[in-house]
Chain A
Amino acid sequence: DQQVKQNSPSLSVQEGRISILNCDYTNSMFDYFLWYKKYPAEGPTFLISISSIKDKNEDGRFTVFLNKSAKHLSLHIVPSQPGDSAVYFCAVANTNAGKSTFGDGTTLTVKP
């Protein structure tokens, strides 16, 4: 029972353009959502989070959008840079559960 899905295993964009990574979840009880970036041979690194009471959170080049009715969140990176090339994981969590459930990741390649 996969509660979090990232339907695009990979995404390739040109440097300077926008990268949009998507994530769908099944349980409306999740109340906060996070994105992580992972480079090879390293652990995931936290990028940005959003609470279920918001629909947008912005931090520099990174913006997370939450559509609760569609159970969908997305991460926008603009402008994309070659250093952004990594695997991106979305994670969902419920305050009562005390754990994050991760998607299976999307590999982003930003071409110079």
Chain B
Amino acid sequence: DTAVSQTPKYLVTQMGNDKSIKCEQNLGHDTMYWYKQDSKKFLKIMFSYNNKELIINETVPNRFSPKSPDKAHLNLHINSLELGDSAVYFCASSRGQGRNYGYTFGSGTRLTVV
């Protein structure tokens, strides 16, 4: 039973399209995150939600819009996709800030913009 599940696992799309990535966690965690792993392998935080409320919004283009319908779900919608958006996107969750047990990550969504 997957703890943090992301769909789709792979996404290939053309420039200018709009796409969404879904994330669900069944751990009862109250905090969820989106991280982006670029070609240099850095994991950079994009957004963080706590109990459906936006807590962290890093310097991310407005084309990226997270939505949290409830504390078990955090979806990521991307408008007008650009080549530079190609990356692996990871969803994660934690109890509180994850001090003692860290984050639980999904397996990632590899987005390729052509």
In the complex, what distance in Å separates the CA atom of A46 from the CA atom of B97? 13
- The reply to whether B55 and A98 form a contact with Cβ atoms under 8 Å apart is yes
| Most A C-beta atoms less than 10 A away, residue of B44, B48, B105 | B105
Known pairs A44-B43, A89-B43, A102-B42; A36 contacts B108 (CB<8 A): no
B residues contacting the other copy or chain, number (CB 8 A): 28
Q: What residues of chain B lie closer than 8 Å to A36, measured between beta carbons?
A: 102
In the complex, what distance in Å separates the CA atom of A6 from the CA atom of B6? 28
| Most B C-beta atoms less than 10 A away, residue of A32, A44, A49 | A44
| Chain A contact patch, size range | 20 to 34
- Specify which of A41, A49, A95, A98 is in contact with B102 (CB 8 Å cutoff): A49
- The reply to whether B41 and A100 form a contact with Cβ atoms under 8 Å apart is no
Q: What residues of chain A lie closer than 8 Å to B50, measured between beta carbons?
A: 98
Known pairs A43-B4, A46-B103, A46-B104; A98 contacts B97 (CB<8 A): yes
- The count of A-to-B residue pairs whose CB atoms sit within 8 angstroms is 62
What are 18 A-B contacts defined by CB distance under 8 Å?
A32-B99, A36-B102, A43-B90, A43-B108, A44-B43, A44-B103, A44-B105, A49-B100, A87-B41, A91-B102, A93-B98, A95-B97, A95-B99, A99-B45, A100-B98, A101-B45, A102-B35, A105-B41
Mark B residues whose CB is within 8 Å of A: 4, 31, 33, 35, 40-45, 48, 50, 55-56, 90, 92, 97-108
Other 20 A-B pairs with CB < 8 A, given A44-B103, A95-B99? A34-B98, A42-B107, A43-B107, A43-B108, A46-B101, A47-B102, A49-B101, A51-B99, A87-B41, A98-B31, A98-B48, A99-B33, A99-B48, A99-B56, A100-B45, A100-B103, A102-B35, A102-B42, A102-B44, A104-B42
